[in-house]
Structure 1
Amino acid sequence: MLKRNGMFYVGLLLVCTGLALLLSACEQRETPQPQEANTNKAGTSQQEGVKTELAPVTDGQTSKPDSPDNDSLPVVADPDAVTVLVNKQIRLPENYIPADLVYPDVRFVFKEKIEKRMLRKEAAQALETMFAAAGKDGINLAGVSGYRSEARQKVIFNQYAAKDGEEKAKTYSAYPGTSEHQTGLAIDVSGSDGKCAAESCFAGTPEAEWLAAHAAESGFIIRYPEGKEGITGYKYEPWHIRYVGVELAKEISAKGITLEEYFGDAVPVTTQP
């Protein structure tokens, strides 16, 4: 009798143990276990084949200036056109970079082969022709600043705004994305000695007078002429020349007008940035 009762209790114990193990297994299957995400050195979190880019850390120099108007500007339809119009009302596509930037074989006021030494190929060739023509007339020109990326323009504009205030800075410096320098078709020039480079004292110099009289012969115009500030939005800059091609440059120069006046309202744009 005792032996039979002992076997009964052993069996009952085994049944209870089995039920406990079964309930534990069911609970584990119903409760998902958290998976540890694998974050690589580039800041990318990978989990079950899904990549989530973590937000990059930036400094103040790379942030957009506080200008809601700049973000809502229409964008030029053909930024690669030699006659492209870029100003305070029409901007380039975001982070636009010309595909044919080269280093023109001319004198600059600095020695380094850096970004601002470049121009688009057609403009660079025209610049070489113009510098050679000036040299024959006894005028020795030098490049000051050519192509400028949007990122670089952000830094420059923010520095000017911090120094002189944003409203004053807008009279002589462009918001990122609206600078002619970014087209690769514009360049600031000076005399070979670098005196008055990109400064108001350049006006009236032999170099400035030669440019006003002869730049169009090589396809360049004085982009921001005197007395046209209300149209261009920028103060007089006799050092800032812009390549538009010989035919158009001669027409604009002969009529004494600006690029804005030449195009009027006929510039095709898109409202999509």
Structure 2
Amino acid sequence: MRARSSSLKARTLLRRLTTGVAGVAFVSALVLTLNACSVDPGGAPAGSSRTPTAGPTSTGPSASSPSTPDAGAPFNRTAHSADDPSSIWVVVNKARPFKPLDFTPPDLVVVGVPHVWEPQLRKPAADAVVAMFAAFTAETGLKMQSQSAFRSYATQRGVYDQDVTASGQAAADTDTARPGTSEHQTGLAIDISALPAKCSLAACFGETTQGTWLATNAWRFGFLLRYPADKVPITGYTYEPWHFRFVGIELATEMHSNGVSTLEEYFGLPAAPQYK
């Protein structure tokens, strides 16, 4: 109360002086006094809206997470294209192949994380993977590794042909993308496994500590679990708890906040259960 009374007097005198011809030095002194009276014991300006920052949790942004967008700003669904193959929001599925089919991202870099095959991703996705892996280890004491990341059109053709030979085309089409329709070709998708390896590229990965943490926290770093178990009729692929797609923190946060789990649903695109 005493500080508020002193502040009120100082403000009143300051208004009188600034409408007259008082000396600049005296006014400056009063400004200093006014500022001193307007600071609370905690160091924040009196009447400010600053509140203590909550510590990191396993389900929300933490000190190890990249910056999150302003929750009060309206979300711009047209900020990036869903059609341009170089866009971080591009939607690629069985009904939406790359144009051109052999598209290669221009900004691929090696991702500095443990791996089975040396991973390459586009720079924003690579940085986010490094941050996400570091946060997982800091929060759990365990480790993850990259199983597979960018795959070119030619590489995907080899993977698909091998799967067709092993299990037939009908079976291959449920869990392996045909060349020119794989998210791995965007340079924004990564398959993740436990380190040491456990349930790699299998549905049981979703029950591991790595799988459950990723399902809960990947959005904090701009990633989606791209092929959820309950969205097979929309995505066209069986449940893949190891496959994560980078879309940026803004879109990942928007989708998480609104309970939307697939890009097809968010952008109002047709489901893609099979090839045309």
Give the match's secondary structure for 1:228. helix
Q: CA deviation at 1:194?
A: 2.0
Cα offset, 1:104, TM superposition:
1.2
2:90 aligns with 84
CA contact (8 A) 2:83 2:91 kept: no
Structure 1 residue corresponding to 2:110, chosen from 98, 103, 115: 103
Of 262, 270, 275, the residue aligned with 1:258 is: 262
Partner SS state of residue 107, structure 1: coil
How many angstroms does 1:94 deviate by?
A: 2.0
- For 1:164 and 1:250, the matched residues in 2 are separated by 38
Whether the 8 Å contact between 1:224 and 1:235 is mirrored in structure 2 is yes
TM-score w.r.t. the length of structure 2 is 0.65
Residues 105-144 of structure 1 mapped to structure 2, 5 A cutoff? 105-110=112-117, 113=118, 117-138=119-140, 139-144=142-147
**2:269 aligned partner, one-letter code:** D
CA distance in 1, matches of 2:172, 2:255: 27
User: Which secondary structure does the structure 2 equivalent of 1:227 belong to?
Assistant: helix
In the alignment, what sits opposite 1:245?
Answer: 248
What SS does structure 1 have at the residue aligned with 2:265?
A: helix
Residues of 2 paired with 1:185 and 1:153: CA distance?
Answer: 15
Q: Given the alignment, which residue of 200, 203, 227 partners 1:200?
A: 203
Deviations 1:8-64 (A, max 9, x none): xxxxxxxxxxxxxxxxxxxxxxxxxxxxxxxxxxxxxxxxxxxxxxxxxxxxxxxxx
Counterpart among 183, 188, 195 of residue 185 in structure 1: 188
Distance 2:171 2:181 in 1: 16
1:212 aligns with 2:215: yes
Q: Which amino acid aligns with 2:234?
A: I
Aligned mates of 1:201, 1:77 — CA distance in 2? 33
TM-score, normalised relative to structure 1:
0.66
Distance in 1 between the 2:146 and 2:178 partners? 22
Measured in 2, the distance between the counterparts of 1:84 and 1:252 equals: 15
CA distance in 2, matches of 1:256, 1:263: 10
C-alpha RMSD over aligned residues: 1.4
Cα distance in 1, alignment partners of residues 138 and 91 from structure 2: 32
Report SS of the residue matched to 2:226.
Answer: strand
Q: Equivalents in 1 of 2:129, 2:120: separation in Å?
A: 11
Amino acid at match of 2:191: D
Shift of 1:263: 0.8
Show the counterpart of 1:234. 237
Measure, in 1, the Cα distance between the counterparts of 2:169 and 2:139: 41
8 Å contact kept, 2:260–2:266: no
**1:95 shift after superposition:** 1.1
Q: Which runs of 4+ in 1 moved over 6 A?
A: none
- Tell me, which stretches of 5 or more residues in structure 1 are unaligned? 1-75, 267-273
Contact 1:118 1:184 (C-alpha < 8 Å) held by counterparts: yes
The one-letter amino acid of 2:264's match is E
CA distance in structure 1 between the partners assigned to 2:183 and 2:150 by the alignment: 8
**Percentage identity across paired residues of the two chains:** 46
Deviation (angstroms), 1:198: 1.1
CA contact (8 A) 1:198 1:239 kept: yes
Secondary structure of the structure 2 residue equivalent to 1:203: helix
User: Aligned partners of 2:269 and 2:194: how far apart in 1?
Assistant: 36
Instruction: For 1:99, give the aligned amino acid.
Output: P
CA distance in 1, matches of 2:256, 2:138: 22
